[in-house]
Chains A and B, each alone.
Chain A
């Protein structure tokens, strides 16, 4: 199970729940995503922590000041950053450097789609449950709906658009085509990005390992068997 989903299941937290619970968008969203980015950073200990237990400090996503309570962070954000509006950031996506303006509470999904035009990133739920928005960040698959764009500076992001040169499909994409492992196609880019990150870590997986690696995704058309077969067939 991907770390981001594990956190969501264990911590029973989602960006939208946080937004509703806190009433203030900007302050609250920083909490969940800080932990997620920690998980992306590669520390093994962050793999299984739950959000509620892991957060002992609330970190401002703009200036990194730490607070003991969410309310204190919210108050700080309102007083210090509420008027800042758009922030100019640099995002490294598919090997290119993009300079774009974002608001502090915008999800990475939203920015990739609406500001960078990378519509291969799909939003199926927006709360870290379906996997359609999966991108690779620093080599690991993450739900981009659970990550704030403003925190992604300095990270290497890859979307499905970055897997091929526009002329020839990558081996993974070709395997999906050859196995006819898609129907409506909405969930497919997310599956592909998780599979890519997984195969980069484990080039010769067992069938069970593939099934576990892709278990953070939902496909309603029922291509689970063929996607697993396609990814497993690339091993070895």
Chain B
């Protein structure tokens, strides 16, 4: 990048939150001692589809230590209609969590059971029973995108390939901190400590659910033990508040792992039939996608636009994309890390590699050939992309893994130990990095010339808070160490910080802090100009020193200016700022400054595997994950987001799956031992590499956009590498060894 930074992108900037984490000081929602605190536990449905006829809580209330019970009759986040196994039907508050758990087991429920639909293929059968309360059937939200004439395009193609891809797995987030909340109802006001990524959103939602006006709800966001798209529902804090009102004491709701795995959000499963047509030289001419998604019991799930990864990355004149979503009697699906784009990238990665094989063409060349040419823009709406670094990402991956040298025809390279070698590479533009709603941010300068920053959002990882410190330090001309994190996530004193979701905080909240720091800088420079007998536009600042642009020897420190501004007892300099809506702040091609734009993140992965064809075991030999954050504001954080996504890609491809009983809908693998996650023994931790390329962004502050989620979307590259190793496709996930043996005709 042309712009030189003093703080942004520097490798010596360490995470501001880490000292608190390694000493155990970072407080999470349940880490608060309160006198007479009660502990809650939930009773969960043993049916997947039913109506509660009666509920008897008398035995639970009779257990010594129990002080309050709530059910669907008095708790607004519980329902008489049961739509999935494990649904909350009641909750208990007791003097310790073990009594509460015991009491929850004593709640007796009489159900009127109804036929349950557990699997996607049943739900799409028009003769299946209705899943829930939607009279229009189990298939919801069919959407279609067409461009050009797909049928005509296929007629003109030299080569047409088709593939059935998926289903991808249905799995739970399994972040390590279960959903938690601590609520205390005092007269007509409620105080809440939250494990939630969106304190302001939860304030509004909780206000509606509890009937308490927002100015009497005091919410405190805290450390958030992993979100990954979850912790968005208000149940823990609402249940805790209802029980607190009943008991007259503070109540802590810390879900058991059992409750968390059924109550929390899940990633949906998707299967699709894909068809891609091309000219003999590899030019795409037509694409047809029929996608089927399982949204669990909630029709509002986020299954949509399964074509996004393909369509935002590659030029194709004739397309027809159809998304269909069904409901089933499973726990809710909602946002997962990168939401729709891991399965979307799965479709794109697989069908392109199927075509490359048919053409006998290097998959990297096929991708590079079909990138969008000219000014990058959405092929359906014509709205310009504020960045398009996919070529740089693909070329970076090629260099990092030496793809052109190592790539070979499928099933043709045997390693010295007899295993088959496979290699693959993929990359896409992701929509998860973008500017959402305008937020508010506050920069409060101290009398000694430093700055504290505040925003109303949770501490979901230290990346956001540290990136905001980098932006403020850069704008004010302070050292990184001179900016610290002040009150954070407190809805009483902070401004709306938006939702920690969609990898949007660096660009969105970053824009807020960019303007807040700029606002503080106006007062800072105005006062400095008086002291230096000049005008503010003659000034610049670096490392805590303000100087004249044309005479750098004439200086004054931030500390001297702030001390003078405040005097002995005067006001300190405060900057407030709001973010901006997605529009260009630099021109791109024919699009001038101010044009509405779409923020996209280029990301991709290259992987080498060894496959044992006698056992079906896959070993990751090397996994390089590349992302273009525009500009890496907090470089260490960006690298670690990418590295983290290496492990998640392994998990999505090879491990994650929640297994449901076909008849009862019961989850059969509750817990970390069975709902598997890679551990230090499973994951190829020493084979992971993070690669950052920076191509800038014409919309985001200092040329950045978000980047937390996109690097996890390319897990299908592991399937492609397995194909390159054994010459057979395995596209059902997770790719268990038995699935590979089955593809090889050995199981």
| Contact present for B96 and A169 (CB under 8 Å) | no
Given A124-B177, A125-B671, A180-B14, A188–B22 Cβ distance below 8 Å? yes
Partner of B460, one of A107, A176, A184: A184
CA A101 – CA B645 in complex, angstroms? 44
- Beyond A119-B32, A121-B24, A161-B23, list 7 extra A-B contacts (CB 8 Å): A119-B24, A120-B23, A188-B22, A220-B174, A220-B176, A222-B645, A224-B678
CB within 8 Å for A225 and B671 given contacts A188-B21, A220-B173: no
Is the pair B688, A127 in contact by a Cβ cutoff of 8 Å?
no
B25 — which chain A residues lie within 8 A by C-beta? 120
Q: Do B102 and A182 touch across chains, with their CB atoms under 8 A apart?
A: no
Tell me the complex Cα distance, A8–B671, Å. 12
A228 interface residue per 8 A CB criterion:
yes
Find out whether the CB atom of A218 lies under 8 angstroms from the CB atom of B176: yes
In the bound complex, residues from chain A placing their C-beta under 8 Å from that of B647 are: 219, 222, 224-225
Complex CA–CA separation, A159 to B643 (angstroms): 28
CB of B648 within 8 A of CB of A180, answer no
Contacts of B14 in A (CB 8 A): 177-178, 180
Interface residues of B in 168-183 (CB under 8 A from A): 173-178
Interface of B is mostly: loop
Which of chain A's residues 212-231 have a Cβ closer than 8 Å to chain B? 212, 214-228
Query: Complex formed: what's the CA distance from A219 to B679 in Å?
Result: 8
Chain B 19-56, CB-CB to A under 8 Å as 1, else 0, gives 11111111110111100010000000000000000000
Which residues of A lie under 8 Å from residue B225 when comparing CB positions? 122, 124, 184-187
In the complex, which residues 447-505 of chain B have their Cβ closer than 8 Å to any Cβ of chain A? Answer: 460-463
Asked if A122 contacts B644 (CB within 8 A), the reply is no
A183 at interface, CB cutoff 8 A? yes
Inter-chain contact B226/A220, CB cutoff 8 Å: yes
Chain A interface (Cβ < 8 Å from any Cβ of B) = 1, 8-9, 16, 19-20, 25, 103, 105-107, 110, 113-114, 117-127, 129-130, 132, 159-161, 163-164, 166, 169, 173, 176-178, 180, 182-189, 192, 207, 210-212, 214-228
Asked whether, in the complex, the Cβ of B98 is within 8 Å of the Cβ of A192, the reply is: no
Which of B22, B256, B680 interacts with A126 by CB under 8 Å? B256
Q: Which of B30, B96, B648, B671 contacts A127 (CB 8 A)?
A: B671
Chain B interface (Cβ < 8 Å from any Cβ of A)? 14-15, 17-28, 30-33, 37, 96-98, 101-102, 105, 173-178, 223-228, 254, 256-257, 460-463, 636-637, 639-641, 643-648, 671-673, 677-681, 683, 685-686, 688
Nearest CB of B to A95, in Å: 16
Known contacts A19-B102, A124-B178, A169-B23: does B224 contact A180 (CB below 8 Å)?
A: no
Please determine whether B681 and A211 come into contact, CB atoms closer than 8 angstroms: yes
The distance from the CB of B194 to the nearest CB of chain A, in whole angstroms, is: 14
Chain A residues near B671 (CB, 8 Å)?
125, 127, 129
A121's nearest neighbour on chain B, judged by CB, is B24
Which of A177, A223, A224 has the largest number of chain B CB atoms within 10 A?
A: A224
CA A79 to CA B599, docked complex, whole Å: 68
Q: Which chain B residues lie closer than 8 Å to A177 at the CB level? A: 14-15, 18-19, 22
Q: Which of B19, B254, B463 contacts A169 (CB 8 A)?
A: B19
Give the residues in chain B near A130, CB-CB below 8 Å: 176, 257, 672
A-B contact pairs, 28 of them (CB 8 A): A103-B96, A105-B98, A122-B176, A124-B177, A125-B178, A126-B256, A129-B257, A130-B672, A164-B23, A176-B18, A176-B21, A177-B14, A182-B18, A182-B21, A183-B463, A184-B175, A185-B17, A185-B225, A212-B681, A215-B681, A218-B176, A218-B672, A220-B176, A220-B228, A222-B647, A222-B648, A224-B685, A225-B685
A110 and B97 contact, CB distance less than 8 A: yes
CA distance A212 to B177 in the complex (A): 23
Separation in Å of the B649 CB from the closest CB of chain A?
9
Interface centre among B23, B30, B226, B677 (most CB of A within 10 A): B23
CA distance A212 to B680 in the complex (A): 7
Nearest-Cβ distance from residue A208 to partner chain B, whole angstroms: 9
- Min CB gap B669→A, angstroms: 12
- B contact residues around A224 at 8 Å (CB): 647, 678-680, 683, 685
Given contacts A127-B671, A224-B679, contact A219 B686 (CB under 8 A): no
Tell which of B102, B176, B228, B688 touches A25, judged by Cβ atoms closer than 8 Å: B102
Shortest CB–CB separation between residue A207 and chain B, in angstroms? 6
Contact B679 A218 (CB under 8 A): yes
Closest to B28 in A: A186
The answer to whether A114 touches B223 (Cβ under 8 A) is no
Say yes or no: B19 contacts A25, CB within 8 Å.
Answer: no
Of B24, B463, B686, which one neighbours A160 at CB under 8 angstroms? Answer: B24
Nearest chain A CB to B418's CB is how many angstroms away? 22
* Cα(A180)–Cα(B641), bound, Å: 11
Give the CA-CA distance A163 to B31 in the complex, in Å: 19
Inter-subunit contact B177/A186 (CB<8 Å): yes
Question: Does B672 contact A173, Cβ atoms closer than 8 Å?
Answer: no
Q: Which residue of A lies closest to B227 (CB)?
A: A184
Most-contacted residue by chain B among A119, A160, A221 (CB, 10 A):
A221
In the complex, chain A residues whose CB is within 8 Å of the CB of B33: 114, 117
Which residue of the partner chain, among A129, A185, A211, contacts B462 with CB atoms under 8 Å? A185
A169 pairs with B22, CB closer than 8 A: yes
CB distance from B623 to the nearest CB of A (A): 10
Q: Max chain A CB contacts within 10 Å: which of B15, B98, B677?
A: B98
**Shortest Cβ gap from B170 to chain A (Å):** 17
Nearest Cβ in chain A — how far from B301, in angstroms? 21
Q: How far, in angstroms, from A178 to B105 measured CA to CA in the complex?
A: 46
Kindly name the residue among A8, A130, A163, A227 whose own CB sees the greatest number of chain B CB atoms within 10 A. A130
With a CB–CB cut-off of 8 A, which chain B residues contact A227? 680
CA distance A11 to B324 in the complex (A): 44
B390 to chain A, nearest CB (A): 23
B106 to chain A, nearest CB (A): 10
In the complex, A106 Cα to B24 Cα: how many Å?
22
Given the complex, which residues of A lie within 8 Å of B646, measured CB to CB?
Answer: 222, 225
Cross-chain contact of B640 among A122, A129, A183, A218 (Cβ < 8 A)? A183
Measured in the bound complex, the distance between the Cα atoms of B330 and A186 in whole Å is: 28
B690 (CB) vs chain A CBs: closest residue: A225
Asked if A192 meets B173 with Cβ closer than 8 Å, knowing A125-B672, A184-B224, A220-B226, the reply is no
CA distance A223 to B460 in the complex (A): 15
Residue of A nearest to B64 (CB): A85
Residue ID in chain B nearest A5 by CB atoms: B673
**Shortest beta-carbon distance, B742 to chain A, in Å?**
27
Q: Which residues of A contact B30 (CB under 8 A)?
A: 123
Closest chain B CB from A187 CB (angstroms): 5
B648 to chain A: closest residue by CB: A222
A8 to B460, CA, bound (A): 31
When C-beta atoms are compared, the residue in chain A nearest to B32 turns out to be A119
A49–B253 CA distance with the chains assembled, in angstroms: 36
CB-defined contacts of B24 to chain A, threshold 8 Å: 118-121, 159-161, 189
**How distant is the Cα of A25 from the Cα of B104 in the complex, in angstroms?**
14
